[in-house]
Each structure stands twice: as structure tokens, then as C-alpha cells.
Structure 1
Amino acid sequence: MQLGISTYTYGWGVGVPGNRPANPLNELDLLAKAREFGLRLVQFGDNLPLHELPEHRLAGLQQLAAAKGITLEIGARGLTPEHLHRYILLAEKLRANLLRFVIDAPGYEPDIKEIIQIIQNQLSVLETKQIILGLENHDRLKAREFAHILDQVNSPNVGICLDSVNSIGAGEGLEQIVETLAPYTVNLHVKDFGIQRLPHLMGFQIDGRPAGKGRLNVPWLLNKLQPFGRCRTAVLEQWVVPETELTETRRKEENWAVASVHYLRQYFET
């Protein structure tokens, strides 16, 4: 399984809503980061929406990635028919074989039947262009609902982008989602995390950790995915706990990325 970085490796550097840096990382900066790590895979998520870039920047991204030997994967949020089709064409343009989608968007939460229909309507296009659609497990839907969607679609060109933490928002833990979704997983988001009881004892706090420093058991996770042979790529994602100043947060994010990639090299191809 090949290891790469993501725009969510550098969430603070790319920019989060309400906290945009004065000098955010752009698409070419992410390619440079990958090369610094000796990695050859970059996944662009919805926090750096590629469809908003002008044509000359998209062409420059594809050309530089090809010149540097870097594989691109792209992603978006909001699985509307129009947005899915837009990103299939964008994946083709950027020669990205994996298209990761978060189904929901602000004000948009399609039901299961609608999700299935939207994907089925684009299946022939996905198959013709040899693009794999990875649905990311996110906060609203349960693992069994994702499994139902994939069983109904029933295509090798559609699977799960398995995030190691997101489903906590749906009340499901890692073991539960892996047992259900491992057979469908086509891409992995390696995101380590910590869970600690708050000092007043009235609840827990869940936040990020550098890879290898939290509760994510990477060898166990890979052993669960390996028998199915569908997951070929993994990207580092980070929930970096912010500092008071954004400059300090970004420095911390970089230090976490360095430590995380160093730890993960023992388990993945680079």
C-alpha cells in the first residue's frame, strides 16, 4: 500500500473556515512537501477545491506532478449529480485514478436511495474512464448504510475511503467500522487520535495525535484490510490541536507531519 500526504495533512496550512492563513499552502506547495518526504502520492481534499482553480493552474499541477513522478488523487464534498460529474471530468484531466467524495455538504444530506441513484447514473462513465469513486465514511451515515449503498451499486469502481476517526461522529468506533467496511475499502486515511476524560469528569475529549502516538493501531488496521486487496493507497491526515497563534499551530503541524511520516514508513511503500 502506497503512502502519501493530503491537503488534510496540512489542514491549518491550507486553511480552515474562519482561520485562513495569510500565506496558505497551494497545490504546488503540496507537491513540494511530498517530494521533501520522498513520497509520490498527494491527495487533494475539499479544503482545497480544485474545481475553483483556473485552467492554467490545473494544467500546471498535472504537468508538475507528472514531471516529479507524483500520483494525484482528488476529492470533493457534496455528492450532487452535477458535482460528481464535474469531478469525474476533473479526475480525468489530472490523470487521477481515485476520486474521494464526502456525501454531505452544508444544507445537503441526500437519502440512501438518492445516493445510490446518483452513483448508478455515473457508473458507466467511471468504468469507461477507469476512475474509482471512494465514499468517505463521515459523521451522518452508519457503516451498515455505507455497506448497503455499495452492495446496491455493486461495482469494482466504487468503494470506501476509510477514515479512522470520522465515524465517531456517527457513534461508531474503529473496530466496528473496519469489520463492516474493510471489504469495500479502496483508500485509507491514516489519522491518529487520542481520547481523554475531561478534568471535571463530565465527558471526553477526542483530538488528534501524531501517527504512532495515539490509539490508532496501524498494524492491526492493515492486517484487516490486506485480505481484500482493494486498498492500494493511504494518506496521512492530521487533527492538529491548535496553539494560541496560527504560526505556532503551523509549526506544530509540520513537526507532526515529519514525525508521522517517519513512523509510517515502516508499514507502507513510499
Structure 2
Amino acid sequence: MQLGISTYTYGWAIGDPGKHRPPEPMDELALLCRAEQLGVSLVQFGDNWPLDELSVERLIAFARQARLRNIQLEVGAKGLTDEHIELYIQLSTYLQSRLLRFVIDKATYRPSVDQVVDILKNAVPTLEKVGVTLGIENHDRLLAQEFAHIMERVGSANVGICLDSVNSMGAGEGLADVVKTLAPYTVNLHLKDFGIKRLPHLMGFQIDGRIAGQGMLNIPWLVEQVEPYNRCQTAILEQWVVPESTVADTIAKEAAWAEASLKYLKESTLFCL
């Protein structure tokens, strides 16, 4: 299983134009450089960095730099529609991405399970033709059983689950049950360590991020659960970094977390680089 980083490793440094934006956001070439510095050769672009918004010239330069640096790319998007899948399959082909990671929902767009199944079935012939695997990420609107139901109804080796280690908690589901249900379909892992602590007033809990290996996520166990199915080829470090009082301090903290997390993950010998 190949280890990599993503745009969600550096969510604060990259920013979100609709919510927050650092004064000098990390660009796509800086992310490639960061991968080199950390000693990994895989970079996944999530829905916080829509590659279809890059100019043609910028996209060409980006693809060239990735090839020169021998960095494998994985493409991601959100908003599962026939048109959006078609566009991102084209981008995946151009960028030589074997995995296309998709979040189903976007803003007010929330298709039903039946609609999702139909859209994925429509995409299967093209996915099979170009050799791209589409991974649906488990977000917090649908339950794990619903994601599994979608996979069974689509029934293609080119469609699977991008298994995030925390997202399904938003649907009220525990990690053990989610992994048991979705491991057979998992084609990509999001390694996002987390902690859960009781709030000071004792009326509830808070879930937030941790450095990999320092939280509640048992990463060796997680890898052990998905490996027997021989479908998951890549594992990506994602981070929920608790912000500091300033943007600069938050970005510095995020970079330090990434370095410490990659050190742990590389020393674990669970992954290849």
C-alpha cells in the first residue's frame, strides 16, 4: 500500500475561497515540493482543490512537474453527477491518476441512493475503458450500510470506497462497525488520526485531529482490516489540525504535524513510498 499526502494534509495552508484563505496559499507546485521533502511520491488532490478550475497552461505545467519529480497523482472532486464524473475522468486520464476520489454531495445537491447507483453505473464503462477506479468517500450523510448497498448494486471492480477514518462519526457510527462494513470495498484509505475529549462543562464531547500515531486511531489495525481484500492500493495522510490564534501559527502547526505524522507512518513499515 503506497503512502501519500493530500490537499487535506495542508487544509489550512491551502485554504478555502468560500470560508478562509491564507495571505499566501500553498499552490499545486508547492504541494509537490512538500511531498518530495517528506519523502513520499504520491499526492492526492481533494475537493478543496478543484483541478478543473486551473487554466490549461497551469494544468500542463503541473502535470509536467509531477512527471519530472516522479510523483504519482490522484484526483478528487465533489458533486457526483454524470457530467462531473465525465470531466474528472478526463482529468484523471491526462494526469495519469489511477484513482478518482469523489464526495457525493455538494452544497444543496444531495442525490438519493438510487440516483447515486444510476450515476455510477453510467460511469462504469468509461472507468473500465480507461483503467480508472472511482472511490466514493464515506461522508456523514449516508450510513456505512448505505454505502455498501451502493457498491453491491453497482458491482464493478472499478468502483469502490475511499474509507475515511473519522467522517462516519458524523452519522453517529463507530469506527469498528464502519470498517467492518466497508473494508471489502475499500480502494483508498484516508489516515486521519483523531481524539475525543469531554468538554469542560461535561455536557458533551469534542472530536478533533491528532498527529498520526498519537490519537485514538489504531492505524496498524485499520490496515490489517482492509489488506485481505487486496483492493486498497494507496493510503493518504489527512489532518484535522486544531487551529491556533493566528493563521501563521496554524499553518506552522499543520506543517509540523505533517512531518511528525509522516515520520510515524514511515517508521511503521506498513506502507511503501
TM-score of Structure 1 vs Structure 2, range by shorter chain: over 0.9
Could you say which residue in structure 1 is the equivalent of 2:10?
A: 10
Following superposition, the deviation at residue 122 of structure 1 comes to: 1.2
Could you say which residue in structure 2 is the equivalent of 1:170?
A: 171
Measured in 2, the distance between the counterparts of 1:198 and 1:246 equals 24
3-state DSSP of counterpart to 1:109: coil
Any idea what the Cα deviations from partners look like across 1:189-239, whole Å, max 9, x if unmatched? 000000000111100000000001100001111111111110010110000
Could you say which residue in structure 2 is the equivalent of 1:259?
A: 260
Could you say which residue in structure 1 is the equivalent of 2:108?
A: 107
Measured in 2, the distance between the counterparts of 1:177 and 1:56 equals 42
Measured in 1, the distance between the counterparts of 2:226 and 2:47 equals 25
Amino acid at match of 1:83: H
Amino acid at match of 1:268: F
Amino acid at match of 1:13: A
Measured in 1, the distance between the counterparts of 2:132 and 2:20 equals 33
Amino acid at match of 2:199: L
Could you say which residue in structure 2 is the equivalent of 1:33?
A: 34
Trace 1:121-136 onto structure 2 (pairs within 5 A): 121-136=122-137
Measured in 2, the distance between the counterparts of 1:181 and 1:92 equals 27
Trace 1:133-212 onto structure 2 (pairs within 5 A): 133-212=134-213
Could you say which residue in structure 1 is the equivalent of 2:272?
A: 269
Measured in 2, the distance between the counterparts of 1:119 and 1:107 equals 20
Could you say which residue in structure 2 is the equivalent of 1:67?
A: 68
Identity, in percent, stands at 58
TM-score calculated relative to the size of structure 2: 0.98
Measured in 1, the distance between the counterparts of 2:85 and 2:153 equals 18
Could you say which residue in structure 1 is the equivalent of 2:24?
A: 23
> What's the Cα RMSD here?
0.7
Measured in 1, the distance between the counterparts of 2:94 and 2:19 equals 31
Q: Which of structure 1's runs of 4+ aligned residues deviate more than 2 A?
A: none
Measured in 2, the distance between the counterparts of 1:217 and 1:90 equals 34
Amino acid at match of 1:7: T
Amino acid at match of 1:178: V
Could you say which residue in structure 2 is the equivalent of 1:249?
A: 250
Following superposition, the deviation at residue 136 of structure 1 comes to: 0.1
Following superposition, the deviation at residue 18 of structure 1 comes to: 2.2
Amino acid at match of 2:271: F
Measured in 2, the distance between the counterparts of 1:22 and 1:70 equals 27
3-state DSSP of counterpart to 1:162: strand
3-state DSSP of counterpart to 1:168: helix
3-state DSSP of counterpart to 2:66: helix
Trace 1:224-235 onto structure 2 (pairs within 5 A): 224-235=225-236
Measured in 2, the distance between the counterparts of 1:173 and 1:36 equals 35
TM-score calculated relative to the size of structure 1: 0.99
Gaps of 5+ in 2: none
Gaps of 5+ in 1: none
3-state DSSP of counterpart to 2:135: strand
Measured in 1, the distance between the counterparts of 2:61 and 2:173 equals 41
Measured in 2, the distance between the counterparts of 1:57 and 1:36 equals 22
3-state DSSP of counterpart to 1:101: strand
Amino acid at match of 2:5: I
Measured in 2, the distance between the counterparts of 1:71 and 1:8 equals 17
Any idea what the Cα deviations from partners look like across 1:107-128, whole Å, max 9, x if unmatched? 0000010000011111100000
Measured in 2, the distance between the counterparts of 1:104 and 1:171 equals 18
Measured in 1, the distance between the counterparts of 2:235 and 2:222 equals 12
